[in-house]
């Protein structure tokens, strides 16, 4: 299981994004950001994706 703490990604949010793989947790993270933080596709820059990838934890 891979997880990202939304708070560590810079949001005031206690949500934990989960997925089986890095790709899946990133995809779920993008869905969460768009749905719950009103982010748009173009707001999620490659730089931001790199930063968020660095926050992925394995458990
Ligand atoms: Zn969140």
Query: Mind listing the pLDDT tens digit for each residue in 1-58?
Result: 999 999 999 999 999 999 999 999 999 999 999 999 999 989 989 998 999 999 999 9
Distance from residue 6's CA to the centre of ligand 1 (Å)? 5
CA–centroid distance, residue 16 to ligand 1 (Å) = 8
- Residue 59 pLDDT grade (very low, low, confident, very high; cuts 50, 70, 90): confident
pTM of the model: 0.90
Which has the closest alpha carbon to 17: 39, 27, 49?
A: 27
Which tokens sit at 48? 């931001």
Would you state the pLDDT for residue 37? 96
Q: 2 and 58 in contact (C-beta within 8 Å)?
A: yes
Distance 44 CA to ligand 1 centre (A): 14
The CA distance from 13 to 23, in Å, is: 22
């Amino acid at each position: 299981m891979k997880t990202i703490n939304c708070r560590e990604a810079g949001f005031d949010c206690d949500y934990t994004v989960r997925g089986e793989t890095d790709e899946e947790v990133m995809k779920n993270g993008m869905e969460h950001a768009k749905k719950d933080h009103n982010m748009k596709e173009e707001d999620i820059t490659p730089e931001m994706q790199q930063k968020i990838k660095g926050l992925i934890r394995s458990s």
